[in-house]
Amino acid sequence: MRVEVLAVGTELLLGQIVNGNAAAIGQRLAGAGLDHFHQVVVGDNLGRIKAALQQAVARSDAVIVTGGLGPTQDDLTREALCAAAGVEMAYSEEMATHLRDLWARRRGREMPASNLRQAEHPEGAVFLPNARGTAPGLRLRAGEAWVFALPGVPQEMLPMLEEQVIPFLVAEAGEGGVLLSRLIRCWGESESGIAERLGDLYESSANPTVAFLASAGEIKVRLTARAATVEAAAALLDPMEAEVRRRLGHWVFAVGQETIEQIVLRLCRERGWHLGTAESATGGMVAERLTSVPGSSEVFLGGVVAYSPALKAALLGVPPALITEQGIVSEAVALAMAEGGAACLGADVVVAVTGSAGPDPGGAPVGTMVVAVRTPEGAWARTVHMPPDRERARTLTSTAALQAVRRCLVGEEW
């Protein structure tokens, strides 16, 4: 089953946004064992969308189109689909009613008339529900290929891809059996360092396959097995997982979909401890990541973003003399922030971050970050060196802070 991705949008050609959708779809296709040989981008131009669709339909078994489904005049994907499939445009009164309801319910106002374009569809196409936006997706047959049209907004597109497109394609591929993936999540070593330790498995193992993926400081090792049943696929994965864990040791922090945020909250809940944050350089990112988890309010009490030195003293009780003596980017200050946070927030576990995110050095070379953790059992601090890029340094440090909490809670050397 060859699947091709066609992204529609002049903003992609102008470089105003990066085609992250194509990468995200590529990851999902690889995970599902579907072949993926071409990605194409064209602008909001009917002739070029049509031509790209016709070529894709001719050389692939399925085409995933992203973008061009909005309500405006430059959303032309529906028209191009009609041309590629050789059908007329139809109109769904049912979808129109659904869209009007959505507007009334979610936005509390009447739908602009132009949004009725989203009730149009090529004859014979099936609407794909969009739980996070108004633009429905479409599935239709064009020549010998399946064509899926999904919205360009990633938050809307990805759930539709995962829940409605990939399972359909895997069933169509019909190779029988199941494809089972397992994610082994690592932190604390580079992608090349991990790849080196697993290089022979990557080269030689065909079932399960071994693949690597790096994002935001975390390295994911993905094992994928194909077998007649879920049980048989799991039996192929088990020894490979054991071997990978043996080689990577304490770099492995999780297997599966549980995120580091979820792990930290679960570990605190298991101990009956409440959690808080005391952040400077990360500016609220650690708190934001923790509160992105539904139900986090059971464990997470709150945090202080003490961005100015004065607030580190006023809210967290960091002695100004300590700041003067040790510097604001120091383990002593980070530890004082964590202890002060525990007092101020009434929390059992507090993670504190101070550092220099740049571009101007704030008392330490740009990229120098200090993380401290206090629990009822002790307090620990560590200095880490991040790339001198503000956003990367902040993101990687927020991950380092969450990993530090996990290690302190499970009693791992840190």
Restricting to residues 261-320, name those near a second copy by CB under 8 A: 277, 279, 282-288, 290-292, 294-297, 300-308, 310-311, 314-315
Of 187-216, which residues contact a second copy (CB under 8 A)? Answer: 190-193, 195-196, 199, 202-203, 211-215
Q: Strands 209-215 and 137-142: what pairing?
A: unpaired
Give 241's contacts (C-beta < 8 A, 6+ positions apart). 182, 184, 223, 255
Number of residues interacting with a second copy: please give it, by CB under 8 A: 110
Return the range that interacts with a second copy (CB under 8 A); candidates 27-35, 122-130, 226-234, 263-271: 27-35
Our CB check for a second copy shows the closer of 55 and 92 to be: 55
Within 86-229, residue ranges assigned H as helices are: 93-102, 154-160, 166-173, 191-204
Options 12-20, 76-84, 225-233, 370-378: segment touching a second copy (CB under 8 A): 12-20
Residue 163, classed as helix, strand or coil, is helix
Nearest approach, Cβ of residue 102 and a second copy (Å): 10
Subset of residues 42 to 71 that bind a second copy, contact rule: CB under 8 A: 42-45, 48, 52, 70-71
H or E stretch covering 13 = helix 10-13
Nearest CB to a second copy, comparing residues 112 and 174: 112
Beta pairing class for 275-279 and 349-355? parallel
Q: Which is nearer to a second copy, 140 or 260 (CB)?
A: 260
Taking CB under 8 A as the criterion, the residue among 2, 33, 40, 414 binding a second copy is 40
Minimum distance of a second copy from residue 87's CB (angstroms)? 25
> Would you call 262 helix, strand, or coil by DSSP?
helix
Asked if residues 300 and 276 have their Cβ atoms less than 8 Å apart, the reply is yes
CB of 377 to a second copy, least distance (A): 23
Task: Report d(CA 323, CA 364) in Å as an integer.
Answer: 13
Q: Least distance in Å: CB of 36 to a second copy?
A: 5
CA distance linking residue 38 with residue 4, whole number of Å: 5
Give the amino acid at 346: G
Pick one of 2, 24, 141, 379: the residue that binds a second copy (CB under 8 A): 24
Q: Is 93 exposed, middle or buried (0-12, 13-18, 19+ CB in 10 A)?
A: exposed
Residue 384 makes CB contacts below 8 A (sequence gap 6+) with 369, 370, 371, 397, 400
- Min. distance of Cβ 135 from a second copy in angstroms? 10
By CB under 8 A, name the one of 50, 78, 222, 406 that touches a second copy.
222
| Binding positions for a second copy, 320-349, rule CB under 8 A | 344-346
For residue 21, give the nearest of 61, 54, 72, 67 by alpha carbon: 67
Closest contact distance (angstroms) between CB of 320 and a second copy is 15
Residues 352-411 that bind a second copy (CB under 8 A): 358-360, 362, 367, 385, 387-392, 394
Residues within window 101-130 making contact with a second copy, judged by CB under 8 A: 106-108, 111-115
Alpha-carbon torsion angle 174, 176, 180, 181, nearest 10: -40
Smallest distance, a second copy to C-beta of residue 33, A: 12
What phi and psi values does residue 359 have, to the nearest 5 degrees? -75, -25
Residue 182 makes contact with a second copy by CB under 8 A: no
Cis bond upstream, residue 208 (ω within 30): yes
Specify the residue, 124 or 365, whose C-beta has the smaller distance to a second copy.
365
Q: Which is nearer to a second copy, 140 or 350 (CB)?
A: 350
x-or-dash pattern for a second copy, window 227-266, by CB under 8 A?
A: ----------------------------------------
